[in-house]
Structure formats: structure tokens, C-alpha cells
Structure 1
Amino acid sequence: MTPHIGQRISAQYADLSAQEQRVAAFILDHFDDLAVYSAADLSRLTGVSKSTVSRLFRRLGFESFQAVKRHARQLRSSGMPLVTDPDAVGGNGERFKRHLEREQDNLRRALTAIDPRTFEAIVHGLDASRRVVLVGFRNSYPLAMHFRQQLIQARADVNLAPQPNQSLAEDLVELGEADLVVLFGFRRRPRLFDALVNELAAMPCRLLLIGDATASGYAEQADWWLECPLDSISAFDSYASAMSLISLLANGLLHHRLAQGRARIDAVSELYQGMDELSP
């Protein structure tokens, strides 16, 4: 992997001139906001000339500051927390409106891309499968965990993998034609993800892959692929569209097996009361 600008600065810092070090230190201190600054901003905020700023970037391997900004946007698109929208760091009231608009756009893109027949097939799979195994790593793990909590209210045999600090093989080794794996593959995936997809694709179980656009290359190996945009005006990805999709799928399952689902929900509620497990 090509070193990002922060890594390049760290590797060359000792060889930089005093003025170049001032700019480099500022970049490291404000790394999350790098894409919202201009070369003139860096010159003014660090008290050095524009030529010094330009010279520093050339030493770091960038032909211009526009190349640096493109580099920062590429880092952001890979999932690194960086601000690429200059209005995201301010305190103006428009920020909330623009955040809402971005969330609505993500949700619209996620849901309008789903073929209703595909959705019904997935819901049928969630209902008819002997066992449903939900797999997620890093930021995908809480999504998998939340999906399990929704599904398990309507049906039994819904498992989450991997368990904390455990390996995966034990949970996957006996998967058969009657089983369904839901794999969450949102960006900044661990290295083993490639091997995991290959293994699951070779197994007789069905595979539902849910992720952002960076996981679309794995779509051909899955039985079903659902894409959820993570775009945000801030440095961090937004998983609102993914959570909405989870809710939609869980509700689809419940209505697909309404009688059994309601009976299970009632039985769970009785256990809540019997063990006094939940507060009013």
C-alpha cells in the first residue's frame, strides 16, 4: 500500500528544513481537516511562504497541492476519517440541513437500488433457512450484532460470528445448503475478508453480502448483493442507510412469518417478565 501523506511526513521529517517542518507539523496536527485547506491557508496559518509549502509537497511526492487534495479525498473514500467538506468543520446552522440532505440521499440510493424480487427472495431466505449466520468485522460488527437482535425476535437459530476474540472456522465449518450467511463488508475490511468470501462462495450455503461500493467487487461471488452508501459531510462514515436496511429486512421477515413471529415475540416477552429482565 502506498504510504499516505502523514506517513511520508513522519518518514522524512528529520530531513526537512525548519520552515518545512512547521508546515509538516501543522498538517499532522490537523490531518483530519487536510482536504479543506488551501495552499494559501497553510502558508498563512504557518507563517511560511507559498513556495515553501509547494516545495514541501514536492518533496513528499506530490506535483501540486491539488494532488494532495485528491490524495486526501482518496483516503476518505477508503474509510479513513478525514474532513473533505469545508462546511463540515464550521458551526453554521446549514451544517444540520446539509447533514440531513446527505443522509436522505444515502437512504434513497440504497433503497431505490433494490429490486423488489431480490428483496422478497432475501426475506424468504431469512425465513426458510435452517440457520442464519451473521458475520461482521470492525465497524460491520455492530451492524451484524444489531441485525441478529432484530431477527432473533422473529425466528430461532440466528448466530453471530466471530465471537469476541475467537476464530471463524468453528462457526462456518458445517454450513450446508439449508443455511444462509449474511456478510457485512463495509470499508476498511480486515485482510482475511478476501479469503472468507472465497471460502463462503465455495460452500453450499447461500450468501447475502451487504456493504458499501468498495465491496462491489465481491458481488459476483454472493447470491445477493445490497449496497449501502456511507457518504457523510463529516470525517466519519454514516451507517444510517445500513441500519435502515436492517430494519426493513427484519420487518420483512416478521411479516413473512407473522403467526410464528408474533408467537415467538410473545414468548420472549413472557420470559422478560418472568425474569424481570427489563425495566418498565
Structure 2
Amino acid sequence: MQGHIGRQLQQCFGELAPQERRVASFILDHFEDLAIYSAADLARLSGVSKATVTRLFRRLGYADFKAVKAHARELRHFGVPLAAGSDALGEGAERCARHLAREQENLQHCFEGLSAASFEAVIGALDSAPRLAVVGYRNSYPLALHLRQQLLQCRPGVALWPAPNQSLAEELAELDADALVVLFGFRRRPRVFDALVETLAARGQPCLLIGDATTARYAERVTWRLACPLDSVSAFDSYAAPMSLICLLANALLHRRLASGRARIDGITDLYESLDELAP
């Protein structure tokens, strides 16, 4: 992906001609709407010629304005929080209705994309693996933490990686060949993510990858991949679909090992009471 156009404009602003600065200032002030403007719109709203707009984008390395709009859409695809047009969210009841509709679309796409056979294989692996390692970075970390806490109610041997401010190498060195790694990989992943996927694949480690559409490129390197849309009506991603998938995974695992799972839940509940950990 080409460098963020907003940062490019900021870095070269002092070198721009006065008319180009007017365009750059307008873009920086209305960056969230860049994908919905045309070159003519930018020229009109900035008070410059269309040729000035074209010259500015060529200076930045874009062949034409179509390339600029594609870049703006790509930024959103990879998780850069860009607000949509000023009326995208709506107001009052309409705001809630638009948000609800998008959430329902995400959930529908998530669960329609699940293969029954693959899902059963995943639950079987969550049940039979001697150890589970759940991994998540950045926005994926709360999801990994929540899945671990849910699975611990059903079965033993569930670890969360990495520990705060710790590395993974020591953990991987201790990982059995038949242990299952559950890897959350939602967009804006750290650079170490690629190396981790490659390392797990080279080791032949069973791996379940849960992520958004940008994880498609890892599909052949993992054992299973479950996709969850994060789309929202404006800038910030929605994690309702992955949280719902976590709920389904945990419930399906519990029902697969219902007797032992119930006994484990009862034991944990007794410990809560003896430790007086939870408020009534």
C-alpha cells in the first residue's frame, strides 16, 4: 500500500505552490470525505483549477484521481479509521437504525460463510487438543482474552499468548506438536504476525485463524480460517461479529463435552465462593 496520502501532504506542504497548498489544506481538513469527491469537486471547493488538482496528485506519485480514491478506500480496508461522509451516521433514531442494519449484515455474512464441516472440525480440535494457545495482538487481544476465559470454563490447558511485554519464542519452544494455536488476526496487525504464521506453518502446527477479509492471504498457511466482517457505518470497526462467533465456539465446545464441562463449571463456581471473588 502506498504511503498515507495525508502524511505525504503534511510532509511536502512547505514545498507546494500556493494553489496546490489550497487543495492540500482542503484535503487535510476533509480527509474522511476524500473517497466520495471527484477531481472537479476538489477543484471547485478549493477554488483552484482542475489542472492544479491533477498536478498535485502526480507530484505525490498518483497517476490520476481514480488512484487517489482507490488509496483512500484501501486505507479503510486495512483498518485506518476514516469517518464516512458527514451524513453517513444519521441522527436520532436513524443513527441507531443504520448501525443496527450494518451489525446485522456483518453477523449474517459471518455465519453464512461458516462451513458446517469445517466448524465441526474446529470444535473437534478445540476439544481434543491437549493444549490450546490463544494469541491476539492489538485489537485482537481482548478477543483472544475473552475466548480463553470462555474456553477455560469448558476445559483445562488454555493459555493466552503473549504475556504482557513478553516474547513468543519461549512459549513456542514448549508447544507440543499436536497443540492447537487459535490466532486472532484482525486488521492493523503488527509486523510479527506474518513471521508467526510462517513459523507455525513451518512447524506443521495446527492453527485456527480468526480474522477479517484481509487474512485471506494466510488461508493456505493455516489449518482453518474463520472470517468475520468488521464494517461499520463510519470510522471505527465493529467487533460484534467476532464476539458472537466466540460465543458460538464456546457453547459448541461445552455441548461437545457436556458432562465434564458442567463438572468443571461447578468446580470453578465453588472456588469463586471459597475465594469470595465475585460480588452477589
TM normalised by structure 1 equals 0.90
User: In the alignment, does 2:47 pair up with 1:77?
Assistant: no
User: In the alignment, does 2:271 pair up with 1:271?
Assistant: yes
Do the aligned partners of 2:212 and 2:227 also contact (CA within 8 Å) in 1? yes
For 1:185 and 1:256, locate their aligned partners in 2 and report how far apart those are by CA, in whole Å.
Answer: 26
What residue is the counterpart of 1:56 in the other structure? 56
User: In the alignment, does 2:83 pair up with 1:108?
Assistant: no
For 1:63 and 1:115, locate their aligned partners in 2 and report how far apart those are by CA, in whole Å.
Answer: 42
What residue is the counterpart of 1:259 in the other structure? 259
| Amino acid in the other structure paired with 2:156 | A
For 2:26 and 2:268, locate their aligned partners in 1 and report how far apart those are by CA, in whole Å.
Answer: 56
Superposition deviation, residue 15 in structure 1: 1.2
Do the aligned partners of 2:136 and 2:143 also contact (CA within 8 Å) in 1? yes
For 1:226 and 1:100, locate their aligned partners in 2 and report how far apart those are by CA, in whole Å.
Answer: 23
| Amino acid in the other structure paired with 1:268 | I
For 1:153 and 1:29, locate their aligned partners in 2 and report how far apart those are by CA, in whole Å.
Answer: 49
For 1:205 and 1:15, locate their aligned partners in 2 and report how far apart those are by CA, in whole Å.
Answer: 52
| Amino acid in the other structure paired with 1:138 | R
For 2:90 and 2:253, locate their aligned partners in 1 and report how far apart those are by CA, in whole Å.
Answer: 42
Do the aligned partners of 1:35 and 1:85 also contact (CA within 8 Å) in 2? no
Superposition deviation, residue 27 in structure 1: 2.4
Query: For 1:210, what is the secondary structure of its paired residue?
Result: strand
Do the aligned partners of 1:208 and 1:224 also contact (CA within 8 Å) in 2? yes
What residue is the counterpart of 1:6 in the other structure? 6
Query: For 1:120, what is the secondary structure of its paired residue?
Result: helix
Do the aligned partners of 2:185 and 2:210 also contact (CA within 8 Å) in 1? yes
Unaligned residue ranges in structure 1 (runs of 5+)? none
Count, aligned residues: 280
TM normalised by structure 2 equals 0.90
Superposition deviation, residue 47 in structure 1: 5.0
Superposition deviation, residue 64 in structure 1: 4.1
After superposition, the C-alpha distances for 1:117-148 in whole angstroms (9 at most, x for unaligned) are: 21111111111111100011111111111111
Deviates more, 1:47-56 or 1:172-181: 47-56
Given the superposition, is the C-alpha separation of residues 26 and 279 from structure 1 closer, same or farther in structure 2, using an over 3 Å criterion?
A: farther
For 2:63 and 2:89, locate their aligned partners in 1 and report how far apart those are by CA, in whole Å.
Answer: 27
After superposition, the C-alpha distances for 1:151-208 in whole angstroms (9 at most, x for unaligned) are: 1111111100011111001111122233110011111222122221111112253111
Do the aligned partners of 2:132 and 2:157 also contact (CA within 8 Å) in 1? yes
Percent identity, aligned pairs only? 61
Superposition deviation, residue 275 in structure 1: 1.8
Alignment of 1:195-274 (within 5 A): 195-274=195-274
Unaligned residue ranges in structure 2 (runs of 5+)? none
